[in-house]
Amino acid sequence: MFFVSDEKMLDHCIRWDSYHIESPDRMTVILDRLKSCDLLDNANILPSRSASVEEIEIVHTRDYIDQIKTICTKSIDEIEDYCKTVEDVYMNENTYDLALLSAGCSIDATLSAFKEKSSSFAVVRPPGHHAFPSVPCGFCWFNNVAIAAKHARSSGAQRILIVDWDVHAGQGTQECIQGDNGIKLISIHRFEHGNFWPNLEQSSVDHKFPNTINVPLNSIGEDDSSFISIFHLVVLPTLIDYQPDLIIVSCGFDAAIGDPEGEMKVSPHGYGRMTRLLMNTGIPISLILEGGYFLPSISRDAEFVVRALQGETFPILPTTPFSSTLNETLRRVISSSSPSTLQSIKYLLEKSGKTREPNTTSPEYKGSRIVPDQYPTREIYQEKTPEEHARFVIELEDVMKRYEEEGTKGSKIKLTISEESQFSIKETVEGEIEIFTSSSLHPLVHSTIISYLNPETSFSPSFFTSPSTQQLDIFFEVILSLSSHSSFSHIPLIRILTQ
């Protein structure tokens, strides 16, 4: 695992207000946690460096780059006046240089993972995924992930999948990669039918960006179970269809327990498991820090991401039934997928009769955007009260304790290839289950059932072979037969086809 960061980036801070959620403390608590757990002892530490202007130009316009450089030379009052003209950003005299440093570290982490067929984690700030080619936005100045992806493409990557699990839509990345068929984006974000920032219709399931798959979440409180289900029903099937040779994660931790922005409930175990599922594909992976604002959560989230990158396994808990809003979103995402993605799962969903037809009487996007004459620059975010902070710390600790006490590492399920039948199950008195499946059905069983029950299990090369219609028809009957079995009924694919 490659790792890169630089404490110089702590100098990017707000000068005109006493509190802001995108604070240097975010990086401090992550680095302190990784060091205290000795997790960087075996990492390949990369030297930090600043990106050149030419490297930034692969995504951003020269006029925009020069503008940011010039503004950083002005007085703090003049800098604040500029920030009133763009949406939700701050800067100081160091921001231009540190945004270059953030981008340079992201490029090198990504290229190291790609060239060495390994993994990397870049703990950088300012973040990047909201930045547009010629406009800053949402704490972001240069789009680190898009820049890194473009340079990986220039270095030989044919297809790159960006997985953005930051709780805010990656609308900047969406626009920065537009037109490049060698880069695909999956953005999993809080949406609330467009009533949550950035309040854009392009963050819906249906939009005009062909290389973006949005998974908009229309209710708060989605947890590990929800995000793991999204991975098994959208992210991993997309990997099968797209077959990228590099994965980049916009690694925001603001869907975490206690986060004031996301109001979701993803735990450190959840982030670790999502990372491990991507690692299991054998595809090089680079994670680049984005948001995340509840300090007790993000330090542990980063810890579990690094533990996953280093091969550790964690206890797992069964998924719970989808919320009605998530069920609706997943069906819409699958039903609306393009001809080149999610085709196997779409076929199964159509066969089950549970596809989501567009509801013209209830549009997906119900939000609106109000652009003020001037954007506010002060007192935008409020610090949690000590009581609120303590309550979320207790909730975080309770979830961690539940994983340790109730979770299981792997399962007592064994998969055996046998040509005697397409599919059969044998149970022992000790509670162990052995699944027998034909070689033709094995990739489907492995990628949808075993990968969920044993998340530390790597995928076989046949995982990336798209199944035939005949294989899917047989597998659909397998799904129906497993839906009433307590050991399998909680598997996300079985849930969505039978729930």
Range of the domain at 173: 1-337
User: If you average pLDDT over residues 81-102, what whole number do you get?
Assistant: 98
Calpha distance 279→259 (Å, rounded):
26
Tell me the residue ranges of DSSP E strands in 389-438.
Answer: 413-417, 423-427, 433-437
C-beta of residue 50 within 8 angstroms of C-beta of residue 40? no
CA 255 to chain CA centroid, nearest Å: 10
**pLDDT band at residue 452 under the 50/70/90 scheme:** confident
Residue at which a domain ends, from 300, 319, 337? 337
Query: What's the pLDDT at 460?
Result: 59
Residue 184 lies in a domain: yes
User: If you average pLDDT over residues 356-364, what whole number do you get?
Assistant: 65
Residue at which a domain ends, from 304, 337, 370? 337
C-beta of residue 276 within 8 angstroms of C-beta of residue 318? no
C-beta of residue 22 within 8 angstroms of C-beta of residue 99? no
What is the tally of structural domains in the chain? 2
Specify whether 321 is located in the same domain as 425.
no
DSSP assignments along 97-123, one per residue: HHHHHHHHHHHHHHHHHHHTT-EEEEE
DSSP β-bridge partners for residue 17: none
Calpha distance 173→169 (Å, rounded):
9
Q: Looking at residue 258, what DSSP letter applies?
A: T
Q: Helices (DSSP H) in 264-352: which residue ranges?
A: 268-279, 295-309, 324-335, 343-352
Specify whether 332 is located in the same domain as 471.
no
Residue 394 lies in a domain: no
Specify whether 417 is located in the same domain as 309.
no
- The CATH number of residue 264's host domain is 3.40.800.20
Mind listing the pLDDT tens digit for each residue in 48-57? 999 999 999 9
Calpha distance 193→308 (Å, rounded):
33
Mind listing the pLDDT tens digit for each residue in 240-294? 889 999 999 999 999 999 999 999 999 999 999 999 999 999 999 999 999 999 9
Q: Looking at residue 246, what DSSP letter applies?
A: E
Catalytic positions, please?
130
Residue 77 lies in a domain: yes
Q: In what order do the strands lie in the sheet with 183-190?
A: 44-45, 2-5, 119-123, 285-289, 246-251, 160-164, 183-190, 212-217
User: If you average pLDDT over residues 210-238, what whole number do you get?
Assistant: 96
**pLDDT band at residue 110 under the 50/70/90 scheme:** very high
Residue 406 lies in a domain: no
Q: Residue 316 contacts by C-beta under 8 Å, 6 or more apart in sequence?
A: 269, 273, 407, 408, 409, 455
Specify whether 227 is located in the same domain as 136.
yes
C-beta of residue 276 within 8 angstroms of C-beta of residue 304? no
Residue 222, SS3? coil
Residue 399 lies in a domain: no
Mind listing the pLDDT tens digit for each residue in 398-446? 999 999 998 876 666 788 898 888 898 888 777 788 889 998 888 888 8
Residue 364 lies in a domain: no
Count Cα atoms within 13 angstroms, Cβ side, for 160. 29
Amino acid at 118: S
Calpha distance 139→238 (Å, rounded):
29
Query: What's the pLDDT at 498?
Result: 86
Amino acid at 428: T
Residue 255 lies in a domain: yes
Specify whether 150 is located in the same domain as 245.
yes
Residue 358 lies in a domain: no
**pLDDT band at residue 33 under the 50/70/90 scheme:** very high
DSSP assignments along 145-167, one per residue: HHHHHHHHHHTT-S-EEEEE-SS
Specify whether 221 is located in the same domain as 134.
yes
C-beta of residue 78 within 8 angstroms of C-beta of residue 67? no
Q: Is the peptide bond before 198 cis (omega within 30 degrees of 0)?
A: yes
Residue 208: CB atoms within 10 A of its CB come to 8
Q: Please give the C-alpha separations between residue 270 and each of 223, 238, 247, 341, in angstroms, as whole numbers.
A: 8, 20, 18, 25
Say what the pTM is.
Answer: 0.96
C-beta of residue 435 within 8 angstroms of C-beta of residue 445? yes
Specify whether 326 is located in the same domain as 437.
no
Residue at which a domain ends, from 287, 317, 337? 337
Tokens of 221: 């409180």
Q: Which of 160, 125, 95, 90 is nearest to 7 (CA)?
A: 125
